[in-house]
Amino acid sequence: MESLAVEFAGRARFVMVENDRDGEVLRSFGSTSLPTYIVYRDGVEVDRLTLNVIPLFLEERLRGMLVDASP
């Protein structure tokens, strides 16, 4: 995630929410399992992953969604 955040700086924002510290935030997004990855475009949820995914798979999926993100 950190490498994607650097690569897409200015075009996408990555936010990590800590379960122990920000449980209310997690509940407000309907997150019931960890980790949960939610992708928004123009304020609308376009994808959600709620499983332990292989980092390469997650990176490829996110990269595919971000390639057309405009600065």
Kindly report the CATH number that applies to the domain delimited by 2-66: 3.40.30.10
Element (H, E) at 53: none
pLDDT in tens, the chain (71 residues): 788 788 878 888 888 887 778 778 878 888 777 778 888 888 888 888 877 767 777 788 877 877 765 55
Indicate the domain borders of the chain. Answer: 2-66
Sign of CA dihedral 54, 30, 9, 46: positive
Beta carbons of 1 and 55 less than 8 angstroms apart: no
pTM for the structure as a whole: 0.67
